[in-house]
């Protein structure tokens, strides 16, 4: 089955998923439930792609396993992070900004937009399912290695930040130890490696370079839109964070400046 058919059917199912999550957000009056749908959506895309293409190659089954591990870890992390807290500050600020039209604007700017971005980032997954049938090669192993390194970085960084924020004494303080000593956003660095690793696996497919749209999209989002810029803006005027910015790499882990 062609890429376009698989992509279209997967996009329809993902849109239904996000509409259901949007209904839950309206009922609970908290739009951050969209964060739980994000990792679930990629696993759903991989399952739909498997069903439609019947690609049971070692490569694709391995890719599905990697996606499932990534999704489960991120989903549990988001659940534990949010379960005893109010709505995430970003979504809360948007709700206030949107006023009485928050339901419509939330659907368009959060749920519909996220579902569209999810599908673009999923291009390497669908491309692998549709066109990658040859035996595993060196590029595949390189992709898995990059994915594994990214998964470790993201997991360790999220755990360190979670433990740091659990302590009331750390409120309004900046985490500067562990991986956060070498990068202000080591979790994002790990996330990017995960998706560039997935892309490397997709390179084994015919014309696989086309699927570079996936990692390029997530890289742009995290470095220029909703990731680093949004979080750093929150700390504007914080003297401690300004010093942290001056001594610590923004994304790629590097030795801190003296």
Per the CB < 8 A criterion, the answer to whether 154 and 72 are in contact is no
Do 183 and 189 meet the contact criterion of CB atoms below 8 Å apart? yes
- Distances in Å between the Cα of 114 and the Cα atoms of 25, 107, 203 are 14, 10, 25
The SS3 call for residue 212 is helix
Q: Return the structure tokens found at 75.
A: 């989903």
Q: Is residue 55 very low, low, confident or very high in pLDDT (cuts 50, 70, 90)?
A: very high
The pLDDT tens digits for 132-144 are: 988 999 999 999 9
DSSP class of 206: T
pTM: 0.93
Residues 70-91 have pLDDT tens digits of 999 999 999 988 887 777 778 8
Q: What is the mean pLDDT of the chain?
A: 93
């Amino acid at each position: 089955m062609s890429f376009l058919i698989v992509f279209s059917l997967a996009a329809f199912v993902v849109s239904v998923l996000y509409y259901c999550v949007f209904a839950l957000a309206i009922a609970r009056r908290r739009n951050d439930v969209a964060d739980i749908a994000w990792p679930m959506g990629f696993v759903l895309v991989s399952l739909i792609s498997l069903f439609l293409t019947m690609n049971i190659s070692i490569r694709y089954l391995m890719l599905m396993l990697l996606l499932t591990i990534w999704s489960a870890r991120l989903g549990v992390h988001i659940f534990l992070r949010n379960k005893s807290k109010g709505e995430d500050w970003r979504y809360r600020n948007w709700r206030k900004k949107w006023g009485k039209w928050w339901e419509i604007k939330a659907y368009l700017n959060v749920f519909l937009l996220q579902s569209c971005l999810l599908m673009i980032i999923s291009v390497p997954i669908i491309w692998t399912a549709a066109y990658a049938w040859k035996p595993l090669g060196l590029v595949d192993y390189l992709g898995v290695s990059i994915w594994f390194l990214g998964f470790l970085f993201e997991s360790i960084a999220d755990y360190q930040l979670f433990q740091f924020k659990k302590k009331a004494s750390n409120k309004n303080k900046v985490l500067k130890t562990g991986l956060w000593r070498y990068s202000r956003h080591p979790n994002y660095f790990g996330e990017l490696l995960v998706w560039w690793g997935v892309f490397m696996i997709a390179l084994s497919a015919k014309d696989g370079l086309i699927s570079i749209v996936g990692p390029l999209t997530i890289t742009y989002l995290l470095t220029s839109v909703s990731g680093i810029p949004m979080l750093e803006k929150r700390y504007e005027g914080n003297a401690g964070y300004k010093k942290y910015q001056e001594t610590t790499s923004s994304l790629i882990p590097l030795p801190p400046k003296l």
